[in-house]
Structure 1
Amino acid sequence: MSRITLTKTIVNKAAHIAFLTTGPGKAHALKEVLKGAYNPDLYPSQEIKPVSGDLHWFVDEAAAALLK
Structure 2
Amino acid sequence: MADQVQELLDVPRAFFTDGMQFINKCQKPDKREFLKISQAVGVGFVVMGAVGFVVKLIHIPVNNILVGGA
Query: TM-score when scaled to structure 1?
Result: 0.20
Q: Which one has a larger percent strand, Structure 1 or Structure 2? A: 1
Higher Rg of the two aligned structures:
2
Q: Which one has a larger percent helix, Structure 1 or Structure 2? A: 2
Q: Which has the higher contact order (CA 8 A, sep 6+)?
A: 1
Query: TM-score when scaled to structure 2?
Result: 0.19
